[in-house]
Structure 1
Amino acid sequence: GGYFSGDQGLLLRDGILSLCSDLSPDAVPLPLHERRDMEFLLIDVLNEVTRRHSDDVTCAAIICDPVYLNIVVEEREDLLSPNFITLESLREVRRAGCNVYVILLANGFQASRLLRFGDRILDTRAKFVLLHDFRLFHSELHYLWKRIVNVGVLVTRRVDIWRNGKFHYSRALFKDKTSNLNGETLNVVYLDHVPSVVALKDNATNKIGGVEIEILNTLSEKMNFKPKLYQPPNADLHKWGGKQPNGSFSGLLGEMVSGRADVALGNLQYNPYHLELTDLSIPYTSQCWTFVTPEALTDNSWKTLILPFNILYTYGMLLVISLPKLPTGWSIRLLTGWYWLYCILLVVSYRASMTAILANPAPRVTIDTLKELVDSKVICSGWGSETKAFFINSLDEIGQKIGERFETIDDPIEAANRVAQGTYAYYDNKDFLKYLSVKRKNAFFMNSVNNSTNTSTIVTNDSERNLHIMSDCMVHIPISIGFHKNSPLKPLADIYMRRVVEVGLAEKWLNDAMYPIRSLETNEEEIKALMNLKKLYGAFIALAIGYTLSFISLIGELFYWKYIVKRDPNFDKFTIDLYYTMKNKKQ
């Protein structure tokens, strides 16, 4: 099929020929009849390309001038700022999915301006056939040839011979050049964010590790390039970056948008915002994003010795033993026997409960669900205005309530300090929150072992709360590696990354990056005192409470004896038994 216009042949508006084929192995050459030999030759070449690349070629677009074909791009037209019809034609080619471009422009300056303008409109991953002109390789256009790599430049030398409807040498015209970059140096911008990128610093050198660094090393080995790692300016302040008043971007995204970096590492979320600015690889993992919240300061360790007592159990034991109506001898014996049995059961139950409580301390008061977070008074916080917009635009009511009181904060260490003060909850992925929590509790040890490059000060005191990571996940977000827009490296990199994920290397590297943090967290949980002087306070408190109740009961009994019993007219201290007998008869 195609676009026909009488004697003019194929025509897609002014200056663009869109030639679409069925792409089946048995495709028949299109019955196109033109009067010029150049047109016949071009049609034969395109038919041969569709046969040999039937699985790849979907559509071909031809941009030419009157020197080569009668489908005209006017010589006076400035293709760096083309007219509306030409611009719409280029967009139509992109929408049609054409992945073969044949540019036949005799004016090399005009062709260079077209490529500069079409950098983001043309599909730079497509196959290109160009006429050679030294003006296409000026230093100002070198960045184009990092993006357009599947290009065949038509030079005045013999590449192949077309004879009897086929090529004589059968050479590959569109060889994939990204499989071997011949040791080319690629600029890789990174951001220190556990577990994707972990920056380790010692006295001699700086070492960078993490999941994405291991993936980058694998890609560099398979695709034969040398990564040049660097951090964006003011990385601690801008981090991923955002849009500035002048329209540019700062931080890691600014390096990608400006074209200074070829690859970006830094726990990039696979979301529409990042996809608009960069090309993202296939996700290599999915992270749980949630909040780290403060624990309650309530400490019930002083009740350790009295926690095994349960008033309901005590009532149950007493009510099971039925007392006799008359105080006979056998009744007293039964009462005494059952009372001894009750004491034995009480001691056994107390010892069992005491052991269980000492082995498994009482649960801490924490925030574990989004509803509990909304009902609490803490302020939700996180990095970047995009995170705040994510909650505000949430379809769920709880997410919208979180967005209403969400505050942006740039420094995660400062956020952790505020969380410890009991006023904040910080939003990030679970692994990074675990790193923050362990780093606060093991500040000195983490700095000596991990030697983190972060110079923020961690302030701790006895009145601060522990950090607790919520068990509920707000959302599971895919994580990818970033490439600059229309990067030719992405298709092959996706293939290698898919293999890395399928064989489990990504999961293995994730466990390796988190192992030091998890080991420190385990050691901290194991070091705990089962009994201390503070917990022994419970025995004295229970004794004091018992003495107090006994003294009040004694005072009440003496008051009742002196002011009620002894003032009764029937009371006689010499015949007390007769007094009680008469009183029972009245009742």
Structure 2
Amino acid sequence: MDGDNFFNSSYPFSPSGPRVIKLAAYHQELNVYEKRQLFPDKYRNFHGGVINVTSLEHTPHFMARVETEADGTEKTIMYGSDGMLLHAMEDKLNFTSYLMPAKTWEEVLQFVIDRVAYISPVYWELVPDHLVTHDMTVVYENAYFAFSMAATPAKPHWSGLFLPLANETWLGLFISWGFSTLALALVLYVKEKDKVSSMFGAVGVAGYDLVATMLDQNFNFLLPISATGRIMMMSWLTFIFIISSLYKANLKAYLMMPSSPSRAETVEELVHIVDKVTAENYLHSTKVFFMVSDYPPYKKLGDLMEIGYETSVGMQTAVDNKRSAHVDFLKHMNHVLVDKFTKPDGTTALYIGKKKIVHFPACMPVPHDLPFLPLLDDIIMSVVEAGLMEKWYNDEIEIARRKSLKKQREYRETLLKNNEMVEVENNEGGDGAGSLTMAHLTGPFFLLAAGAVVSTVVFLNELGSKIVYCK
């Protein structure tokens, strides 16, 4: 109240700048004449006023670059999915953002807490510690927390010999061979007893011949004469013809198929194979969240986390140290992986675990009791419901992919000029894709060596037995 005459209100934003506006006149007769709304919504229109915001670069959500205008003035351009959300707020509420420079994420958050900046236009995970010092906007993002580690190169393995058939198929084949051996041996012993000396001998003959037919050999001992034996042998030959045809048809593909070594895909596996886990500065509250958790893998992860690594630095540390991992939000790591850790040949030195560590609701930090927070929440929900957040994110990922493809094309063009393309094509599965190398044929050579060892042992045993018999 201004003396005994008027009700006034301060408008921080108006067409003419900050000013005090009369709302109503007060008369001595206690009659109030309202000239304007007594409780106006002051923040639906900022009339082009400037609002301080603050953030560091956090791809693909918030990035900024400085451009020079035609008149020589510099203008800060903010982009990324959260940067576009900030522009939507600017358009709706008619304000201009000024990006306050900050050196660390702690400084970013302190600007918000001290009300020096009103918005940090990048999502933060919603954990209890944050609500103590500042407010948060409405939740608009599902922040999946994940980890990345160095990828062990996939190489052909001798186990490719067994991959054309599933484990249960191999078991079924072994059982079928066993029953067929016993059945054929029984037929030989009963129907053709004059050709075998004992049941044990019949089993040896039958088993040997059935194995020979598996390897496309002829019968080495006795072809059954009886109708029962011939029917059984015909059934076995038909069966093994189908199985061996399918096996040989897929053998080359599985010999050439790289065998991926076992690697950690869950947080439970991660905490048992790494010595440290790097993380960004802004994840200190997340570290505390894990350390006070009752779930043992989360608690151990919190103990292993080392704060203070930028995402690119932490991921490079994981590449250099195979017993190190980096944790961060999935979308951010995906963008960094595509942008900075994709090699010119299209491969990556890192992988991201399949199973996410935890899911956080995420939103923007704002000071306590921000008067226009409900208006910001309305704009955020409108943008989310329109599907624009996901579109803006996908746009940034697509830009990073195009940059990566451009690097790959330039890399290949350079190799073509230097006549090095043949080697690259061989490595990438080009013209040399049909060539089997020693790496692919480890299995057959292993079987040959194993057979040589076994035959040598048998030979020495027979030689020893003969010497003892002669004495």
- For 2:386 and 2:64, the matched residues in 1 are separated by 26
- For 2:458 and 2:62, the matched residues in 1 are separated by 75
Tell me, yes or no, if structure 1 residue 507 matches structure 2 residue 407. no
Tell me, yes or no, if structure 1 residue 469 matches structure 2 residue 339. no
Post-superposition Cα deviations, 1:266-305, rounded to whole Å, max 9, x if no partner, equal 3223334333333321122121112223344573445435
Aligned pairs (5 A) from 1:5-404: 145=12, 159-160=24-25, 167-168=32-33, 171-199=36-64, 207-232=77-102, 234=103, 238=104, 240-241=105-106, 251-296=107-152, 299-301=155-157, 303-305=159-161, 307-308=163-164, 312-321=171-180, 322-323=183-184, 324-325=188-189, 326=192, 327=195, 328-330=224-226, 333=230, 337=234, 340-351=237-248, 353-354=250-251, 357=254, 362-384=259-281, 385-404=284-303
C-alpha spacing 1:414/1:262, structure 2 compared with 1 (3 Å): same
Deviation at 1:223, TM superposition (A): 0.9
C-alpha spacing 1:227/1:544, structure 2 compared with 1 (3 Å): closer
Tell me, yes or no, if structure 1 residue 498 matches structure 2 residue 381. yes
- For 1:522 and 1:370, the matched residues in 2 are separated by 32
Partner amino acid for 2:134?
Answer: T
Query: More relative contact order in 1 or in 2 (CA 8 Å, sep 6+)?
Result: 2
Partner SS for 1:287 = strand
C-alpha spacing 1:103/1:424, structure 2 compared with 1 (3 Å): farther
Partner amino acid for 2:324?
Answer: Y
C-alpha spacing 1:428/1:534, structure 2 compared with 1 (3 Å): farther
C-alpha spacing 1:196/1:301, structure 2 compared with 1 (3 Å): same
Q: Which residue of 2 aligns with 1:416?
A: 315
C-alpha spacing 1:360/1:230, structure 2 compared with 1 (3 Å): farther
Deviation at 1:434, TM superposition (A): 1.5
C-alpha spacing 1:414/1:539, structure 2 compared with 1 (3 Å): closer
C-alpha spacing 1:164/1:497, structure 2 compared with 1 (3 Å): farther
Partner amino acid for 1:299?
Answer: K
Partner amino acid for 1:312?
Answer: L
C-alpha spacing 1:528/1:337, structure 2 compared with 1 (3 Å): farther
- For 1:440 and 1:433, the matched residues in 2 are separated by 10
Partner amino acid for 1:318?
Answer: W
Partner SS for 1:416 = helix
Deviation at 1:359, TM superposition (A): 9.6
- For 1:303 and 1:364, the matched residues in 2 are separated by 12
Partner amino acid for 1:499?
Answer: S
Work out which of the residue numbers 394, 408, 427 in structure 1 matches 2:327: 427
Partner amino acid for 2:225?
Answer: G
What TM-score do the two structures reach when normalised by structure 2? Answer: 0.69
Unmatched tracts of structure 2, length 5 or more: 70-74, 196-223, 409-426
Deviation at 1:371, TM superposition (A): 1.6
Partner SS for 1:182 = coil
Q: Which residue of 2 aligns with 1:47?
A: none
Partners of 1:220 and 1:227 within 8 A in 2: yes
Q: Which residue of 1 aligns with 2:438?
A: 537
Partners of 1:304 and 1:538 within 8 A in 2: no
Q: Which residue of 2 aligns with 1:442?
A: 342
Deviation at 1:163, TM superposition (A): 9.6
- For 1:382 and 1:292, the matched residues in 2 are separated by 11
Q: Which residue of 1 aligns with 2:364?
A: 481
Q: Which residue of 2 aligns with 1:574?
A: none
C-alpha spacing 1:166/1:368, structure 2 compared with 1 (3 Å): farther
Unmatched tracts of structure 1, length 5 or more: 1-101, 106-127, 132-136, 138-143, 242-250, 447-459, 572-587
Partner SS for 1:217 = helix
C-alpha spacing 1:388/1:567, structure 2 compared with 1 (3 Å): closer
Deviation at 1:217, TM superposition (A): 1.0
Indicate the structure (1 or 2) with the bigger Cα radius of gyration.
1
Judging by fraction of residues, say which structure has more helix: 2
Partners of 1:305 and 1:536 within 8 A in 2: no
Work out which of the residue numbers 548, 557, 567 in structure 1 matches 2:449: 548
C-alpha spacing 1:538/1:427, structure 2 compared with 1 (3 Å): closer
Partners of 2:46 and 2:95 within 8 A in 1: yes
Partner amino acid for 2:323?
Answer: T
- For 2:28 and 2:450, the matched residues in 1 are separated by 114
Q: Which range is displaced more, 271-280 or 178-187?
A: 271-280
Deviation at 1:502, TM superposition (A): 2.5
Please report the RMSD computed on the Cα atoms of aligned residues, expressed in angstroms: 4.4
- For 1:202 and 1:300, the matched residues in 2 are separated by 51
Post-superposition Cα deviations, 1:365-384, rounded to whole Å, max 9, x if no partner, equal 22122221222234222123
Post-superposition Cα deviations, 1:424-474, rounded to whole Å, max 9, x if no partner, equal 12121111122233334325699xxxxxxxxxxxxx9xxxx9422223333
- For 1:199 and 1:344, the matched residues in 2 are separated by 67
- For 1:145 and 1:441, the matched residues in 2 are separated by 47
Partners of 1:366 and 1:468 within 8 A in 2: no
Partners of 2:275 and 2:304 within 8 A in 1: no
Deviation at 1:197, TM superposition (A): 0.8
Partner amino acid for 1:494?
Answer: D
Deviation at 1:539, TM superposition (A): 6.4
Partner amino acid for 2:80?
Answer: G
- For 2:239 and 2:68, the matched residues in 1 are separated by 69
What TM-score do the two structures reach when normalised by structure 1? Answer: 0.57
Number of matched residues? 398
Deviation at 1:221, TM superposition (A): 1.0
- For 1:471 and 1:546, the matched residues in 2 are separated by 35
Partners of 2:49 and 2:95 within 8 A in 1: yes
Partner SS for 1:304 = helix
- For 2:249 and 2:67, the matched residues in 1 are separated by 51
Partner SS for 1:537 = coil
